[in-house]
Structure 1
Amino acid sequence: LVSLLLLFSFGQVKYAGLTNIIGIASFFLFSLPLIQAWRISTSLAREFDAVFPSAVASVKPPFSFTRIVAGINAPQIHSSSLLYSTKDSLTLDWYAAQKEGDRPCVIVIHGGSWAGGNSNQLPELNTCLARRGYNVASINYRLAPSYTYPASSQDVAAAIQYLKSHAQSLHTDSSNFVLLGRSAGGQIALDAAYSLKDPSVRGVISYYGPTDMVWGYQNPANPLVLDSKKIMEDYLGGTYAQVPKQYVRSSPTASVTKKSVPTLVIQGKNDPLVAYDHCNRLDEQLNRNHVRHFILRLPWATHGCDYTLNGPSGQLCTYATLQFLDNVFTQ
């Protein structure tokens, strides 16, 4: 729209003032996330290191203006498809670590409202993690409404068991897993990490995932954007009035204990699909139980803010993720 207005106004002297105003406003709106990202980056390393000090030499600075364009069309690591559940014909995409030896593994859980999406979602981070020296297993899982909670969390457990049983051939350290999920996958990752109580799961990362399913159902997204109530009903098998225990059991906020694994949560304040207060509610429970965690709050960001890995959100998300992994995998 801005471009059209500028084109329409070009060469028309009487609209020169309007053109300038629109141009200045457009530049400001475009620059605001960059400025905010830079401001966060000036303290992020110090704040993050206070919670998750890394034994590995620091990765790149949290944010760089030049990196926005430097990583365009970067080559990706080829993945192979592995069948991890013969019963349900579930596969995972395997990205082998680009370092020798038995390496830790990050299990990536895609988003898609628990009813869609697949393991091919946003693969750029998988390549980044593999180059860092981590194996990556990006899994497919059973989807709603055909399968309801806790089917997806059970699939995560099945994937972990598969990777443990094939640890030798996959050069995987079977005592070192971290779960990483986006959106609906964030809820699955948190739920599995907190409820499975598997000592090999060393930490969990949630990118803009729901954390309190009861509160989320009672405070739905704008129906013009997303029918979140219907999505949750399909995933949990009914309304809150019909299956209240499903809503409670699937809420990571209800599963937190003093023994819960270290947690990284990334959330944008402008997310219209997963309300910002989800991260606050989990933050409260993690603090109450003295669980090591960090909430990366991005004031400008919306859902899927890491879509462009070298964008302002993508850079900060990747920095926090790498620093978190370097810490929990060396504990």
Structure 2
Amino acid sequence: MANSTYIKRVSINGWVMLILLTLLLLISLLTVFKAPTYHLWLLAIAASEFPLIFSGITGLLLIACIWLQKYQLICIIIGFLALGFFLSPVVRAYTVAAAVKTEFNSAFGQGSTIIKGDNSQPAFSFFKLFKHSSKSVAYKTLVYDDAEKLTLDYYPAQFGGKRPCIIVVHGGSWSSGDSRQLPELNSYLAAEGYHVASINYRLAPQYQAPLALDDVNQAFAYLRRNAGQLHIDINNFVLLGRSAGAQIALLSAYSQHQHGLKGVINFYGPADMVWGYSKPANKLVMDSRAVMERYLGGTYNAMPDKYFKSSPIEFVNQHTVPTLSIHGDNDVLVSPIHSQKLDVKLQQYGVKHFYLNLPWATHGFDYNINGPGGQLSTYVVERFINVVCRH
């Protein structure tokens, strides 16, 4: 009787193990295939940028398979498949890292990847996956537009003297988000000797384009007026934007001709609003047409000229500032074709630029600054700022 109960318990555990490992395998596929729904997109960020957590869980279940009497072989096969997929971003990150230094040097000149005379820092390290985020740098919130009550979070450089300033424009479909979004990179750059001003701007649908562009102009003006007390080198600004904020940053950089602006960094932004409207995202992930209509005030058919004037790609010319674009192939909110098209246009006009393509990554991959996408993007961001601001 006792032996029968034991066999039944082992059989039940076999079923449970089979179900758990199958679920992990399905999750692991998000590191290879695009997420079909909004919530699975969020899970895809976790699966691809926190690979050690999911690999560790899978590994523990594989070890437990040793004691299974039923479904052992199928559980082991499924478990190893899931483990392989979960670790695939790490393997592919090493592949990208092996080429990025050479390609970046080719784009910006030999030695462009060297920071402070140190050429030893790798673009990606497996051991850094275990590391927690860098120590936070204390910021202060400043009002940069009294009329609109707009604020920015100012992270002072941790080196003395006048330093370059990075202006960060947050994402959020032009209708949400704020200056506190993904602050780890702000602290990292401040620790490396750059001031960072992460700005808030007026949001849709209450405020529509081009008001956000005006807000960026106001931020520039405020930082210039107060450059003395903030210790800013007004000849060395860089714009950085994520997603919708990248569209604003690119458009500002390409159309506003800001004095002292040395470059712009585009994290997975919509560079071609006309093309983007014609090829919307999967509605189960995001209704991208509705998002654009709230921001621009109507459909493309109703106001094609406004979509055209909101497309950064249309303003590229031979005088365009150096550009860094970073995009994941599995992005389901903003297609990587935006960055690919921008890359081609910049090349046509001979603009110095670099496009970091991350084959496994989805939208928001830089949520974990020490993940595969976070490490590689931070590596090229720091080097891009260094090379454009040192002249």
Taking structure 1 as the reference length, what is the TM-score of the superposition? 0.96
Partner of 2:255: 195
Matched, 1:302 2:362: yes
Matched, 1:312 2:312: no
Matched, 1:291 2:347: no
CA distance in 2, matches of 1:39, 1:283: 21
CA distance in 1, matches of 2:324, 2:229: 30
Kept in 2: contact 1:2–1:22 (CA 8 A): no
Q: Secondary structure at the match of 1:202?
A: strand
Q: What amino acid is the match of 1:158?
A: Q
Question: Aligned pair in 2 of structure 1 residues 130, 284: CA closer, same or farther (>3 Å)?
Answer: same
CA distance in 1, matches of 2:234, 2:180: 24
Of 277, 280, 283, 1:220 maps to 280
Kept in 1: contact 2:133–2:369 (CA 8 A): no
CA distance in 1, matches of 2:267, 2:369: 13
Percent identity between matched residues is 48
Q: Secondary structure at the match of 2:204?
A: coil
Partner of 1:259: 319
1:248-269, Cα deviation, whole Å (9 max, x unpaired): 0110110111100000000000
Of 206, 211, 214, 1:151 maps to 211
Aligned pairs for 1:165-204 within 5 A:
165-204=225-264
Q: What amino acid is the match of 2:74?
A: L
**CA apart distance, 1:304:** 0.3
CA distance in 1, matches of 2:187, 2:133: 13
Q: Secondary structure at the match of 1:169?
A: helix
Kept in 2: contact 1:52–1:323 (CA 8 A): no
Aligned pairs for 1:1-331 within 5 A:
2-3=20-21, 10=65, 11-53=67-109, 54=112, 56=115, 57-58=117-118, 60-70=121-131, 72-331=132-391
Q: Secondary structure at the match of 2:245?
A: helix
Kept in 2: contact 1:211–1:253 (CA 8 A): yes
1:131-187, Cα deviation, whole Å (9 max, x unpaired): 110000000000001111111111111101000000000000111100000010111
1:21-45, Cα deviation, whole Å (9 max, x unpaired): 1210111011100000001111211
Question: Aligned pair in 2 of structure 1 residues 2, 91: CA closer, same or farther (>3 Å)?
Answer: same
CA distance in 1, matches of 2:245, 2:134: 26
**CA apart distance, 1:58:** 4.1
**CA apart distance, 1:68:** 0.9
**CA apart distance, 1:306:** 0.7
1:84-136, Cα deviation, whole Å (9 max, x unpaired): 00111000000000111010000001000000000000000001100110000
CA distance in 1, matches of 2:390, 2:184: 24
Q: Which runs of 5+ in 2 are unaligned?
A: 1-18, 24-57
Kept in 1: contact 2:281–2:333 (CA 8 A): yes
Q: Secondary structure at the match of 1:205?
A: strand
Kept in 1: contact 2:133–2:370 (CA 8 A): no
Say how many residue pairs are matched. Answer: 330
Higher helix proportion, which one? 2
The runs of 4+ residues in structure 1 deviating greater than 4 Å are 3-11
Structure ID, larger Rg: 2
Taking structure 2 as the reference length, what is the TM-score of the superposition? 0.82
CA distance in 1, matches of 2:228, 2:152: 17
Question: Aligned pair in 2 of structure 1 residues 184, 58: CA closer, same or farther (>3 Å)?
Answer: farther
Q: What amino acid is the match of 2:157?
A: A
Q: What amino acid is the match of 2:358?
A: L
